[in-house]
Structure 1
Amino acid sequence: MTLPRDAFFGEVEQVPADRAVGRICAEMLTPSPPRGAPVLPGELRDQAVVDYPRTGVGIGMLNPDAAASDIATIRVSVHDVDAD
């Protein structure tokens, strides 16, 4: 786990959503209408966390805090363990 401020304000890169699995999130993903907990900066992303907002977009869910509202790409920390 990374501190939220370190992930959000640190050095980040925008990667395709499929490449965000196993990486530290650097943005908030807050699906609306709310159907679950938001993803916060500093949290490690697993496949379910990536899939949930992407499938929600397909049924009309909004992601107002995401850099890419369609969740095609996700901001992640470049300083996480699994970074390329």
Structure 2
Amino acid sequence: MPDPYPNRPRRDARVSPGIPAVLPGERLTGEVLRYLRSGVEGGTVIPDAADVSLKTVRVVAAGR
């Protein structure tokens, strides 16, 4: 069935609203960053990202 609204913005299901894209303490491996960046390239917005393009990532290290 063709899309009745072909010009509407698309939502990418990679990151669901209210579900964190990355959890505190999660290791940002190359695989994780490639996955997130592919979503951004497809139009997904990563909420609260310091750099919405994900070309850079802000890392905060907690005291040990």
TM-score, normalization: structure 2? 0.57
**Structure with the largest fraction of helix:** 1
1:12-50 residue CA offsets vs partner (Å, 9 max, x unmatched):
xxxxxxxxxxxxxxxxxxxx7442562112111211111
**Structure with the largest fraction of strand:** 1
Alignment partner, residue 50 of structure 2: 67
How far did residue 77 of structure 1 move? 3.5
Bigger RCO (CA 8 Å, 6+ sep): 1
SS in 2 for 1:76: coil
Alignment of 1:16-27 (within 5 A): none
Structure 1 unaligned blocks of 5 or more: 1-31, 80-84
How far did residue 66 of structure 1 move? 0.7
**Identity among equivalent pairs (%):** 40
How far did residue 57 of structure 1 move? 1.1
Give the residue type in structure 2 aligned to 1:72.
K
RMSD: 2.2
Alignment partner, residue 53 of structure 1: 36
Structure-2 change in CA distance of 1:70 and 1:59 (3 Å)? same
1:45-71 residue CA offsets vs partner (Å, 9 max, x unmatched):
211111111111111111121111110
